[in-house]
Amino acid sequence: MMERTVRAMEQKQEQFEQEDRECIKAADGLDPEAIRQLTDPVGEEKHVLQLIQDSIMRVMLQARITATPSTVGSQALFEVQRKEVDKKPRRPFDNRVEEDTWARYTAVWVKLICYVYRAETIEDNERPGFRLTKRQGDTMDELTELIEEYVKDPEASPLNEDRVDELTLQVVMALLDHRLTAGEYRSGIISGLAVLGIRKDGGWMDVMDYTPMYSAVIKVARAMVVYQSYRERKEEVARLQQEKDLDEEEAEEEATSMFRIVREKVQRFMTVTSKETYAEPTPMDW
């Protein structure tokens, strides 16, 4: 048993070192320290990135609150915990973690969002090689423009936090739903995770220190997938009430189930690549 464990760790270290080499290629010619600083959380100043950072914190908190059996049902939580398309997990997603652990998890997502936003604002020859998809870029632009209007003139354009949070959540969903058709480092999430592996001295983290960051991204992502699915179902219920003149109970019965909404997302971008011929890798395969 011990030998298998040691071998597994050795294989993981070899994989991590190979990923390091690929990351070096992807960042060829760039200043590692300058790239690493793109992930730094912002200070207290009220500019666009600060408000985006505030928003992702609110979104992650609400996602954690929502991802419970009493709110979405245990079957949806089993589904979002799925790692492989054809294997049901032994236990459901569980949002119960220590507060300091949750703080560490959310800190990784804050760094990733800061990284993506900052990288999009610098010159091509100075920025990492990832590229936003059209969906990612359009959603990020809409989010940024909404906040910029508020920053320019708070009285004329009061900040609609609900809309900001909705767009922030959509940005996260778009980042997760990224088909790796042209190499994994075209993904903002994978590129950001690779940069988070750079130590302050320019070296690379040991796999034992790095792996928890990847686990944090997946844990919080699952909660946010549940939260997005919950929001979509609420919107569908409200639409059915209006369009078909149904009462809430009738609309609830007719609306798509939480399980089906979650399953569609999980099978699309929250599991490793299936054996189906049409399947393509996503950041979950990294």
Q: Is the pLDDT of residue 30 over 70?
A: no
Q: What pLDDT is attached to residue 21?
A: 46
Q: Is the pLDDT of residue 124 over 70?
A: yes
Q: What pLDDT is attached to residue 286?
A: 56
**Does 183 or 153 have the greater pLDDT score?**
153
Structure tokens at 51: 């408000």
If pLDDT is split at 50, 70 and 90, which confidence band does 275 have? low
Q: What is the mean pLDDT of residues 197-217?
A: 81
Q: What is the mean pLDDT of residues 214-235?
A: 97
Q: What is the mean pLDDT of residues 219-232?
A: 98
pTM metric for this prediction: 0.86
**Does 243 or 25 have the greater pLDDT score?**
243
